[in-house]
Chains A and B, each alone.
Chain A
Amino acid sequence: MKRRLTNWIAAACMALPLTGIAATAEPVLIGLIYPTPVADVGWAKQLDLGREAVEEAFGDRVTTRVVENIPEGPDASRVVNQLVADGAKFVVLGSFGYMNDGLRLAQRSPDVDFIHASGFRQAENFGTFTARSYEAFYLAGMAAGMVTESNTIGIVAAFAIPEVIAEVNAITLAARKENPDVNIRIVWVNSWFDPAREQEAARAVISQGADVVFSLHQDTPSVVNVAQAEGVYVVNTGSDMSAHGPDAVLGSVVHDWSSYFVEAVGASLEGNFEGHDERGGLASGAVSVQAWNDVLTEEQMARINETEAALISGEAHVFAGPLKDQSGTERVAEGEALPDPEIFAMNWLVEGLTGSLPQ
């Protein structure tokens, strides 16, 4: 036993310099870790499309390895450590909860570059990426205000984190602008993943009169299924889910990480990656609304497209003043727009929304 061990160590020592030489010719390993399984649709699927874009862009220069369905916590930390130990030089951390462990690992592994979905801490070799989904939800909110007949819009939301709160506010502002009588009902599911409960939440707001339901950050077509069955409209997050609700989907807010992943991996390969906070919006194509429902008239679509163009050019801003919060306090003055740091730390609801935020 002892002898075998020494043999093994000797072999390992001999192999070491070899791997060092071979590394220049071998493809660079890119590791990706997702919180949920890669399915037909959803968050992990969109991340994986980004991975495919990277493979396509760099061909033989890279090889990718995906570890999917890893809950945030010690498991994730272990998996990422393993990826780095296996020689990954670029790691995509696909969920908010991977941040602290990931950052610690990044500090220990200066030769590995990391990008992390959402989050607020960066380092030289640790960048974060977020989409300005609220821009897309503003457009979808306009559509919701246009089509609602009951003047009630329901929102089924995962967790009250700033990103989601910004989306809720964007939907409300847009829908109200189109239709001042609109009432918004929000249900926080307080879970990133519980399809049965998401459906219960959707049925709850529908029973309370909602004829358009927003599915904020639900990874499966759970809410889309309910909307299709109940005959109401739905706007979902992540992927185009119109196949699951051909009549119901009013529009799908779709994430597209391809161009950012390709850019970041490219920089890393060239050795000039710099960890920053990437915030892609309508302008960069990181987020868009797809599968618009035919119920929207040409005139309505024209108005939506016009707004989209104005948001892209910077002429318009989702959180432009004057803007008041629930309590009536002015948050943004006339002629100003909410600055980025405040958008990404949003912890208040806009005027007219009832209910409280889970703290």
Chain B
Amino acid sequence: MGTTLVFLLSGTLLAATPLLLAAMGELIVERAGILNLSIEGMMALGAVVGFATIMATGSHWLALGNQVATGIAVGILGLGLSGLIGKPYEGMTVAPMKRIPIPVLSEIPIIGPGLFNHSALVYLAPLLAVGLWWMLRSTRIGLIIRAVGESPESAHAIGYSVLMTRFLAVMVGGFMAGLAGAFIATVSATLWSDGMIAGRGWIVVALVVFATWRVDRLVIGAWLFGLATIAELLVQGAGISVPSQLLTSIPYIATIIAISILSMDGRKMRLNAPASLGRTYNSTA
């Protein structure tokens, strides 16, 4: 029972981390007014480049850090390109990343090994979320990003470059998606195979809507999603008679329900959604 609970906690964090990382990137991108639907491809490319880097250098940190390059490079190309680059690595395995148990906290029974004995990136993700929340809320950069997403014309009128802001936002989004992909390939799964992102990029897009573009809800959403996926496996393993497809689809159903509830009050939805999300902006106009 104890080990099961430990796994419930640690598995949830491990499943949630890549979703949270990629979703934070997507949130920045969407807050700047761009709807980026190529997360899946970016994650795949991040996964394969991360994996290739480990094979070449043996360093997890280089593998994760390398994502700046990939983040810039990709779009829809990502998926196909990842297969091409990854061909020689198909089905290979790397050593897992070192875990860093947090002193004292990791000594707590169940909670300790469940939540406080992970690789660094797992701890980093929620810290980054706090930083992102603060940045969007209280810093000049955050204000510019939000302004560009709400009303690019006004932002342009007061002298901010809409294109540059959006370009940088997409770069950051690509970096985060690549980081998430690399996390899956080199930290949680420790192998690479074409198609291994398996639709998580789309979950990320849904998560941002689920969170109504708010960072705090994004963190909760990612954790809930992770929890649902892990709990489903444990329920099955325990032999409880629940149709497993139903369980598998719970996170998706939850997203649909959440979106439905949120969109019932159209004003609330519109209030949170960046006003110019997905609209083309022509700087010369």
Q: Which residues of A contact B (CB under 8 A)?
A: 36-42, 69, 154, 185-188, 190-191, 193-197, 199-201, 203-209, 219-222, 225, 229, 244, 353-356, 358-359
Contact for A191 among B7, B90, B198, B243, CB less than 8 A: B198
Known: A205-B237, A356-B242. A197 touches B90 (CB 8 A): no
Q: Closest Cβ of chain A: how far from B134's Cβ, in Å?
A: 31
Besides the known contacts A187-B244, A194-B196, A208-B234, 15 further A-B residue pairs in the complex with CB atoms under 8 A apart? A37-B90, A39-B91, A186-B236, A186-B237, A188-B244, A190-B248, A195-B198, A196-B196, A197-B198, A201-B233, A203-B7, A203-B11, A204-B233, A207-B234, A359-B245
List of A residues within 8 angstroms of B233 by Cβ: 187, 200-201, 204
Contact for B195 among A36, A199, A207, A358, CB less than 8 A: A36
List of B residues within 8 angstroms of A359 by Cβ: 243, 245
Contact between A358 and B243, CB atoms less than 8 A apart: yes
Contact for B236 among A36, A188, A244, CB less than 8 A: A188
Chain A to chain B: the 7 pairs with minimum beta-carbon distance, closest first: A354-B239, A39-B91, A207-B7, A39-B90, A204-B233, A194-B198, A355-B239
Contact between B194 and A37, CB atoms less than 8 A apart: yes
Q: Closest Cβ of chain A: how far from B19's Cβ, in Å?
A: 11
Contact between A199 and B188, CB atoms less than 8 A apart: yes
Q: Closest Cβ of chain B: how far from A294's Cβ, in Å?
A: 22
CB neighbors of A among B63-90 (8 A): 83, 87, 90
Contact between A355 and B193, CB atoms less than 8 A apart: no
Q: State A37–B243 Cα separation when bound (angstroms).
A: 31
A-B contact count (CB 8 A): 123
List of B residues within 8 angstroms of A355 by Cβ: 236, 239-241
Q: Closest Cβ of chain A: how far from B243's Cβ, in Å?
A: 6
Q: State A40–B241 Cα separation when bound (angstroms).
A: 37
Contact between A220 and B237, CB atoms less than 8 A apart: no
Instruction: Check B120 for interface membership: any CB of A closer than 8 A.
Output: no
List of A residues within 8 angstroms of B11 by Cβ: 200, 203-204
List of A residues within 8 angstroms of B234 by Cβ: 204, 207-208
Contact for B191 among A193, A203, A225, A354, CB less than 8 A: A225
List of B residues within 8 angstroms of A208 by Cβ: 3-4, 234, 237-238
List of B residues within 8 angstroms of A200 by Cβ: 11, 14-15, 229-230, 233
Contact between A220 and B193, CB atoms less than 8 A apart: yes
- B194 nearest in chain A by CB position: A37
Instruction: Check B131 for interface membership: any CB of A closer than 8 A.
Output: no
- Chain A CB within 10 A, most for which of B15, B193, B196, B241: B193
Known: A196-B189, A225-B190, A355-B240. A41 touches B195 (CB 8 A): no
Contact between A193 and B93, CB atoms less than 8 A apart: no
List of A residues within 8 angstroms of B248 by Cβ: 190
Contact between B193 and A219, CB atoms less than 8 A apart: yes
Q: Which residues of B contact A (CB under 8 A)?
A: 3-4, 6-8, 11, 14-15, 83, 87, 90-93, 96, 184, 188-191, 193-196, 198, 229-230, 233-234, 236-245, 248
Contact between A196 and B4, CB atoms less than 8 A apart: no
Contact between B188 and A196, CB atoms less than 8 A apart: yes
Contact between B241 and A356, CB atoms less than 8 A apart: yes
- B95 nearest in chain A by CB position: A229
- Chain A CB within 10 A, most for which of B92, B198, B236, B248: B236
Q: Closest Cβ of chain B: how far from A122's Cβ, in Å?
A: 29
Q: State A194–B229 Cα separation when bound (angstroms).
A: 13
- A187 nearest in chain B by CB position: B236
List of A residues within 8 angstroms of B184 by Cβ: 196
- Chain B CB within 10 A, most for which of A206, A229, A358: A358
Q: State A325–B92 Cα separation when bound (angstroms).
A: 40
Contact between A207 and B3, CB atoms less than 8 A apart: yes
List of A residues within 8 angstroms of B193 by Cβ: 36-37, 39, 193, 195, 219-220
Contact for A37 among B3, B6, B87, B242, CB less than 8 A: B87
Q: Closest Cβ of chain A: how far from B118's Cβ, in Å?
A: 14
- A245 nearest in chain B by CB position: B93
Q: Closest Cβ of chain B: how far from A211's Cβ, in Å?
A: 12
List of B residues within 8 angstroms of A154 by Cβ: 237
Q: State A186–B193 Cα separation when bound (angstroms).
A: 24
Instruction: Pull 16 A–B residue pairs with CB atoms less than 8 Å apart, ordered by A.
Output: A36-B194, A37-B83, A37-B193, A41-B91, A42-B91, A187-B244, A195-B189, A195-B198, A199-B189, A200-B14, A207-B7, A208-B234, A208-B237, A208-B238, A220-B196, A356-B241
Contact for B238 among A36, A39, A185, A188, CB less than 8 A: A185
Q: Closest Cβ of chain B: how far from A43's Cβ, in Å?
A: 11
Contact between A69 and B236, CB atoms less than 8 A apart: no
Q: Closest Cβ of chain A: how far from B94's Cβ, in Å?
A: 9
Contact between A193 and B198, CB atoms less than 8 A apart: yes
- Chain B CB within 10 A, most for which of A187, A191, A207, A222: A207
Q: Closest Cβ of chain B: how far from A313's Cβ, in Å?
A: 36
Q: Closest Cβ of chain B: how far from A86's Cβ, in Å?
A: 22
Q: State A190–B247 Cα separation when bound (angstroms).
A: 10
Q: Closest Cβ of chain B: how far from A273's Cβ, in Å?
A: 32
